[in-house]
Amino acid sequence: MALLELEDLHVYYGNIHALKGVSLQVEAGEIVALLGANGAGKSTTLNTVSGLLRPRSGAVRLEGEDLTRIPPHRIVERGVVQVPEGRRVFGQLTVLENLEMGAFTRTDSQGVREDLERVFALFPRLKERAAQVAGTLSGGEQQMLAIGRALMARPRVLLMDEPSMGLAPLLVEQIFDAIQEINRQGTTILLVEQNAYMALQVAHRGYVLQTGQVVLSGSAEELRENPEVKRAYLGG
């Protein structure tokens, strides 16, 4: 049984049919990339998994348990945590306060301290700037903070929405290194990306979404070689 399983999800915004029967699986320990053009429904998919949106039909299962009837905060408690699109950090709070906010659902202070060290080890830049107000961080630092904040909830499945958006190439590398490192430390990752090239470098498998439907899926290698993917997402 897959750790996370989406089955035939239909999601609407009013009359707009945004997801038209999306199904996908994420196995424990994997990095799975979800690719697609603007408006394909990638963010919608993630928001449905984390409970912020409700599907009209279909199911999201975590180890067989249906999440679609569970409120978002309980889903976080079950270990499914999202890094929202566009690095929305709490701008007025300090880096440290942001990270503490990420551990909101947790009660094991010892574990939280350990995870704080883990995040600081992953992003030493955040440690240097622990007392700085998050709103004054650079874009890349804010993305690190958004990821670190999600890690503070000690997720089993991390949902990442376009972590490379708007970052310089060097920073993109750093972020993807961190993603791989997080995965190596045991966290399963569902990664939404427009940067298909980078995503397929780190992912084990991938799905391609087009206007709310999965049109292609396969191992990262297969997708890299697929002529359609090459043409549409890899620029050649």
Partner 1 sequence: MWRVGLVFGAVAWFVSLVGLVEALHGRWVVDGVLSAGQVLLLAVLLASGWTAARRFSASLVGRLWAGLLAGATVGFCVGLLVWLRSLVDLRTMFVNASPALFQLLSGGQPARVAWAAAVAVGAGVGLVGGAGACTPARVVRPILVGAAAALSLALFQELVLLVLQPEPLAPVRDWLFVAGGGPTAQGIAATFAFSAALAALRQASWGRAGRVALPPKAQRVLWSFVGVLLLAALPIAGGPFVAQVLVIVGLYTLMGLGLNLEVGLAGLLDLGFVAFFAIGAYTVGLLTSVGDHGIAHWSFWAAVPVAVLVSLIAGVILGIPVLGIRGDYLAIATLGFGEIVRLLVLSDALRPWFGGSQGVLAIPKPVLAGFEFSGPQHLYYLTVVASAVVAYVAWRLQDSRLGRAWMAIREDEDVAEALGINLVSVKLLAYGLGAAFAGVGGAIFAVMVGSVFPHSFQLLISIQVLALIIVGGMGSIPGVIVGSAVLIGLPELLREFGEFRFLVYGAVLVAMMLLRPEGLLPAAAQRRELHAAEEEPAGLARTPVGAATEGGA
- When CB distances to Mg ion are compared, the closest residue is 43
Cα angle 33-4-195, degrees, rounded to a multiple of 5: 10
Determine if 105 is a binding residue for partner 1 (CB under 8 A).
yes
Q: How far is the CB of 110 from ligand ATP (least distance, A)?
A: 37
Contact at 8 Å (CB) between 180 and 202?
yes
Q: How far is the CB of 42 from ligand ATP (least distance, A)?
A: 3
Determine if 130 is a binding residue for partner 1 (CB under 8 A).
yes
**Distance between CA atoms of 106 and 155, rounded to whole angstroms?**
11
Cα–Cα distances in angstroms (integers) from residue 99 to residues 12, 140, 146, 177, in the given order? 33, 16, 8, 20
**Distance between CA atoms of 87 and 48, rounded to whole angstroms?**
19
Determine if 18 is a binding residue for ligand ATP (CB under 6 A).
yes
Contact at 8 Å (CB) between 33 and 207?
yes
**Segment near partner 1 (CB under 8 A), from 27-35, 58-66, 132-140, 195-203?**
132-140
Letters for 192-211 (x = contact with ligand ATP by CB under 6 A, - = none) are: --x-----------------
Residue 71, contacted partner among partner 1, Mg ion, ligand ATP, none, CB below 5-8 A by kind: partner 1
Scan residues 7-66 and list those touching partner 1 (CB under 8 A): 50, 52
**Segment near ligand ATP (CB under 6 A), from 10-18, 103-111, 121-129, 216-224?**
10-18
Residue 231, contacted partner among Mg ion, ligand ATP, partner 1, none, CB below 5-8 A by kind: none
Contact at 8 Å (CB) between 49 and 206?
no
Cα–Cα distances in angstroms (integers) from residue 71 to residues 41, 54, 65, 75, 80, in the given order? 21, 10, 13, 7, 12
Say how many CA atoms lie within 13 Å of 44 toward its Cβ: 26
Determine if 58 is a binding residue for ligand ATP (CB under 6 A).
no
Q: Which residues bind Mg ion (CB under 5 A)?
A: 43, 85
Residues at the contact surface with ligand ATP, assessed by CB under 6 A: 13, 16, 18, 36, 38-44, 194
